[in-house]
Amino acid sequence: MPSHLPSPTPDPKLRRAEALDALDSVLPFDRREFLAGLLTDDDVETLRHLAKEGLGENSMRALTSDLGYLEAWCLAATGAPLPWPAPEALLIKFVAHHLWDPAKRETDAAHGMPIDVTSALKDMGLLRADGPHAPSTVRRRLSSWSTLTKWRGLKGNFNAPGLQSAVKLAVRANARPLVRKSRNAVTGDILRRLLQACAGERLVDLRDRALLLTAFASGGRRRSEVARLRVEQLRDQEPVPADPKDNGEKLPCLSLQLGRTKTTEADSGAYVLLIGAPVLALKTWLERAGISDGAVFRAIDRWGNLERRALTPQAVNWILKRRVAEAGLDPRLFSAHGLRAGYLTEAARQNVPLVEAMQQSQHRSLQQAASYYNEAERKLGRAARIIV
């Protein structure tokens, strides 16, 4: 056979799966083939372009997940792939399928997402609940849709008055209560119980103690930030007074350079401080584990041997839940995000000024940060104690 004959054209799905291999840092291996069956060639090229532009891993993961869902929904709802740019009517249909009134659904089967669309998405494992979506999920997917449209060099209809009105009306009809990422906050009293659960001298105890103290005291860092924390981000600082009003006893101090987070850019120079017990716990862990560079928090196998690989964000959540269970609490009520909520709640309890707490937590939204303060004040206030 002549060697100059062209090679056969590869299967489009296989070609897309191979292209997605370039995103191995953000896409789980077992999801690539599934996503390759949903996404188009243009979708994959857009995602690869975003990765080259340096979009954060969490943002890339969320965009990819949302894009896969949008493609699957559009195919199930219209019988055709997602059009770019999407017409306003399709955007409104998306809202109508995901935000609806459960009470009206009882008397009008056509209200909300059609049964055949629901079944198709459930068969693909993309839909679990039968009820309407959370407004925050719908808004996030619309935002992802808008972002991907812009990155394709197209102008979308996401600011159209009809769409904005549809979202407002649908949210009002949905009446779904806000559910926090962690049902309970890990406040100071809860944290002390978790630390007691890992009070031993095993390597795993030293790691978990340092992890919990670092995550909480640094302003309630997100689990992804804890997982990717590196020694190179830590900077020794001059010891500071234990009491800001007294120049007596001194405590060790570290600065933690944040780099890219959900609210900071890689080159912004943002940092937070660790003072006292968290510094001692972190340095003890690094010394005992022999870690001088690379990932701070690493996996430990069942025999107690330290591994080179860093913890995953999921592992950070599992560690917290395991320690919650060992402390005699219900792990279903807590997640790693409870450390972030707990930091602000505890700061409010200890009368730390909100602005000062936000410098440590790096919240950009005053309204969001203030909600934890308001909640703490309401629980400690007299308004709900008129009759007890």
Domain map (residue ranges) of the chain: 12-174, 188-383
Write the CATH number of the domain with boundaries 188-383.
Answer: 1.10.443.10
- Residue of 219, 304, 326 lying closest to 263 (CA atoms): 219
In one-letter notation, the amino acid at residue 336 is A
Instruction: Take residue 292 and report the two structure tokens written for it.
Output: 């001088």
pLDDT band at 289 (very low <50, low <70, confident <90, very high): very high
Q: What is the full DSSP assignment across 288-341?
A: HHT--SSBSSEEE-TTSPEEEEEPPHHHHHHHHHHHHHHTTS-GGG--THHHHH
pLDDT at 266: 44
CA distance 32 to 38: 10
Mean pLDDT taken over the chain? 82
Q: Say if residue 14's pLDDT is above 70.
A: no
Q: First and final CA of the chain: distance in angstroms?
A: 92
Q: What pTM was computed for the model?
A: 0.59
CA distance 215 to 278: 9
The DSSP output letter for 30 is H
**Long-range contacts, stretch 290-295, CB < 8 angstroms, 24+ apart:** 291/231, 292/231, 293/230, 293/231, 293/232, 294/230, 294/231, 295/228, 295/229, 295/230, 295/231
Do 56 and 260 form a contact (C-beta atoms < 8 A)? yes
CA distance 210 to 21: 34
255-294: b or e for each residue (b if 16 or more CB lie within 10 Å)?
ebbbbbbeebeeeeebbbbbbbebbebbbebbeebebeee
Residue that has been written with the tokens 């101090």 in this structure: 253
Q: Is 386 exposed, middle or buried (0-12, 13-18, 19+ CB in 10 A)?
A: exposed
- The H or E element containing residue 369 is helix 366-380
Please write the tens of the pLDDT for every residue from 195-204: 999 998 999 9
Please write the tens of the pLDDT for every residue from 195-251: 999 998 999 999 999 999 999 999 889 888 999 899 999 999 999 888 877 777 889
Instruction: Take residue 219 and report the two structure tokens written for it.
Output: 């302003």
Name the range with the highest mean pLDDT among 32-36, 91-95, 167-171, 383-387. 91-95
- Residue of 315, 375, 387 lying closest to 345 (CA atoms): 375
Do 326 and 200 form a contact (C-beta atoms < 8 A)? no
Residues in the chain: 388
Q: Is 388 exposed, middle or buried (0-12, 13-18, 19+ CB in 10 A)?
A: exposed
Q: Say if residue 10's pLDDT is above 90.
A: no
CA distance 74 to 94: 8
Q: Say if residue 167's pLDDT is above 90.
A: no
